[in-house]
């Protein structure tokens, strides 16, 4: 599924560069955006419901997929904002089908 990067003030070229970086990170990890999102949800649930209890730790595959999505988010922001004097506080990487079409990245 295509993904989109939302980052106010970024050009279409910068957004596309950010999406490409995120896609590369996920591809290298063998994780789809959907798998990463499900894993992130499960990891966050472990945090909230179990307060990081070791005996409730999600499987390694879940933790690895969530980590890959974390890295993809940062890669997208870093690639998009390369050369910016200041990194923005608010940005999102999400499914293109879930978006209204604003701030398209690819």
pLDDT in tens, 51-96: 667 777 788 898 999 999 999 999 999 999 999 988 887 778 877 7
pTM of the model: 0.79
Give pLDDT, residue 40. 85
The burial class, CB within 10 Å (0-12 / 13-18 / 19+), for 26 is: buried
Q: What is the pLDDT of residues 33-57, one digit of tens each?
A: 999 988 888 887 766 666 667 777 7
Give the separation between CA 12 and CA 68, rounded to whole angstroms: 24
- 64-93 residues labelled b (16+ CB within 10 A) or e (exposed): bbbbbbebbbebbbebbbeeeeeeeeebeb
């Amino acid at each position: 599924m295509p993904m989109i990067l939302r980052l106010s003030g970024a050009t279409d070229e910068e957004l596309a560069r950010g999406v490409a970086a995120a896609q590369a990170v996920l591809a290298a990890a063998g994780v789809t955006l959907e798998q990463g999102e499900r894993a992130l949800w499960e990891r966050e649930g472990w945090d909230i419901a179990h307060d990081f209890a070791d005996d409730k730790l999600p499987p390694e595959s879940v933790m690895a997929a969530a980590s890959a999505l974390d890295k993809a988010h940062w890669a997208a922001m870093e690639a998009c904002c390369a050369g910016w004097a200041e990194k923005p506080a608010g940005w999102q990487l999400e499914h293109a089908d879930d978006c209204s079409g604003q701030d398209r990245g690819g």
